[in-house]
Structure 1
Amino acid sequence: MQKPLTFLVPLAIVAALALPASAQETATADPKTVVATVGETEITIGHMIVAWASLPEQYQNLPDDVLFKGILDQLVQQTALMQQFDGTLPARVDLQIENERRSLVAGEAVNGIMEKPLDEAEVQAAYQADFGSAEQAPEYNASHILVETEEEALALAEELAGGADFAALAREKSTGPSGPNGGQLGWFGDGAMVPEFEAAVKSMDAGAVSAPVKTQFGWHIVKLNETRMQEAPALEEVREQIELQLRQLRAQKVIEEITGLADVDRSAAEGVNPSVIKQITALE
């Protein structure tokens, strides 16, 4: 079966890209406003809004005048083609319409569940469960100089022992991407670095410089700048994340409850070969 033809991108939008973009003032939308008619069929601002919302993100951000013309062209073309179609729709089209309606209505039901207000006590409890009792983990701020051979690393260690400036040597000698920044790696926690590097950092005191450390990337001279204990984020920093999680859990619970109460009989599916779902030609 051929993939359904998509009009908007190849016909309307691409053609409209040649049009000059002009500044448009934001207007108040009235979804019932008719912008075109094809025979007796009206095309409204509402139709255009829904068409825009279904576009891939890269097209949604095109200039407003380009989008307006492109979407309207698409809807006019589709309407004209629909009106002249006098054949019998294949079963797959009717079934797809049923599935689309089912999905959209179910989506609205889920949105209604998700949008119900949350109890602040519930948010606080979730925050305490996720962050309040979490053990504080150490974080490290380190710099390094990366070279290819142990001999180079030993020579650097001697220079540093003699009073050379670590950042200056890193800018001059390091082959790693942090070299131009004086070798600074910033803050990182457990698991962020390869094991050999992490072990060296954990064995050092703040301000100390390591002996040469070998990793898969080469030879490192490491300087531990400082350490700190990672603090739990404030509630307001993670509120959006927590509330979304709570809403999703609530929605899942309600979905399971509603499905459990529904009069569902799956017995007709027993014994059906699962491969039948791939036989799209049966709908032609």
Structure 2
Amino acid sequence: MAIRHTLFPALALIAATTFGQSATAQDSPDSATVVATVNGTDITLGHMVALRASLPAQYGQLPAETLFNGILDQLIQQTLLMQNFEGDLSRRSELLLENERRAIIASEAIETVMSDELSDAEIQAAYQEQYSSAEPETEYKAAHILVETEETALDLVAQLEDGADFATLARENSTGPSASSGGDLGWFGPGVMVESFFEAVSALEPGDVSQPVQTQFGWHVIKLNETRLTDVPTLDDVRAEIEDSLRQAAFDAHVEALTEKAQIERMSTGEIDPESIGNLELLEN
């Protein structure tokens, strides 16, 4: 949405009269505070706040005064255009208004459900269910050299067996992004690396170097440097995560309950061409 940042003469007068009338109104405005009037139609501070909240993040880099004036200009222009529009809205505009109203009301409903207060008992119960039987997990600190062929990987293994330095070989030969750091991959646990790579790492002892391991990225020579056991997280560590999970579960249950009570009929893609949603000519009917 384009925002012009010129200050209309009329706006300067409106701003002077609206905000200059009383210091109290200026110091403690609310959403009903009128910031402009266009042919009898009020534009409020609430309208501006709502529009500001919908803008992309980069608008936050603008000076506050520039953003204020730009948003107010935008709303004044839109009001003028709306007031002087003649004829009927296009079918496309009618449908967009319906979609926008549907989305806004649905967002309000989502916020209502997701903002329900969670009790400490609920949070504690969820924590116990998820972590009471959890065991400390092994993490691995490893490095690798990634090359294109098994032959090259076997040659690197031979050099390492003869006493070559792993980090030096990684910097000189690895095609992976970790080459500049000597192949160092840092610490990782299950589910981070591809399966064949992780299986090879977990079979090593600290200080060991693997035979060549193939993944979709190429051939790896892996060195396991250290292992450690992670502690089971405390409730404070995962409270935010648990709260998010409980709220999401509450929302899912709410939608499921609504769906079960509703009478819903829907067409399948066997009954209508799914590519029809890209046909803009339908909006011209």
**For residue 183 of structure 2, what is the aligned residue in structure 1?**
183
Query: Residues of 1 paired with 2:183 and 2:98: CA distance?
Result: 60
Residue 91 of structure 1 and its aligned partner are, at CA, apart by: 6.8
**For residue 209 of structure 2, what is the aligned residue in structure 1?**
209
Q: TM-score, normalised by structure 2?
A: 0.71
Question: Aligned-residue CA RMSD in angstroms?
Answer: 3.8
**For residue 129 of structure 1, what is the aligned residue in structure 2?**
129
Q: Cα 1:46–1:185, aligned 2, differ >3 Å: closer, same or farther?
A: same
How do 1:141-152 and structure 2 match up within 5 A?
A: 141-150=141-150, 152=152
Query: Residues of 1 paired with 2:93 and 2:163: CA distance?
Result: 78
State the Cα deviation string for residues 2-44 of structure 1 (Å, max 9, x = none): xxxxxx42x526x89xxxxxxxxxx865323322221222222
Amino acid at match of 1:66: T
> Secondary structure of 1:12's partner?
coil
Confirm or deny: 8 A CA contact 2:91 2:284 kept in the other structure. Answer: no
**For residue 116 of structure 1, what is the aligned residue in structure 2?**
116
Residue 165 of structure 1 and its aligned partner are, at CA, apart by: 3.0
Q: Cα 1:168–1:33, aligned 2, differ >3 Å: closer, same or farther?
A: same
Residue 85 of structure 1 and its aligned partner are, at CA, apart by: 2.6
**For residue 236 of structure 1, what is the aligned residue in structure 2?**
236
**For residue 20 of structure 1, what is the aligned residue in structure 2?**
none
Query: Residues of 1 paired with 2:260 and 2:220: CA distance?
Result: 60
Structure 2 gap segments, 5+ residues each: 8-26
State the Cα deviation string for residues 130-149 of structure 1 (Å, max 9, x = none): 33334554332211233445
Q: Cα 1:163–1:260, aligned 2, differ >3 Å: closer, same or farther?
A: closer
Q: TM-score, normalised by structure 1?
A: 0.71
Amino acid at match of 1:242: I
**For residue 80 of structure 1, what is the aligned residue in structure 2?**
80
How do 1:222-233 and structure 2 match up within 5 A?
A: 222-233=222-233
Query: Residues of 1 paired with 2:162 and 2:50: CA distance?
Result: 70
Structure 1 gap segments, 5+ residues each: 1-7, 17-26
Confirm or deny: 8 A CA contact 1:132 1:232 kept in the other structure. Answer: no
Confirm or deny: 8 A CA contact 1:178 1:185 kept in the other structure. Answer: yes
Residue 191 of structure 1 and its aligned partner are, at CA, apart by: 4.5
Amino acid at match of 1:30: D
Residue 220 of structure 1 and its aligned partner are, at CA, apart by: 3.4
> Secondary structure of 1:121's partner?
helix
Query: Residues of 2 paired with 1:97 and 1:150: CA distance?
Result: 60
Query: Residues of 2 paired with 1:49 and 1:87: CA distance?
Result: 30
Residue 50 of structure 1 and its aligned partner are, at CA, apart by: 0.8
State the identity %. Answer: 51
Residue 72 of structure 1 and its aligned partner are, at CA, apart by: 1.2
Query: Residues of 2 paired with 1:95 and 1:196: CA distance?
Result: 51
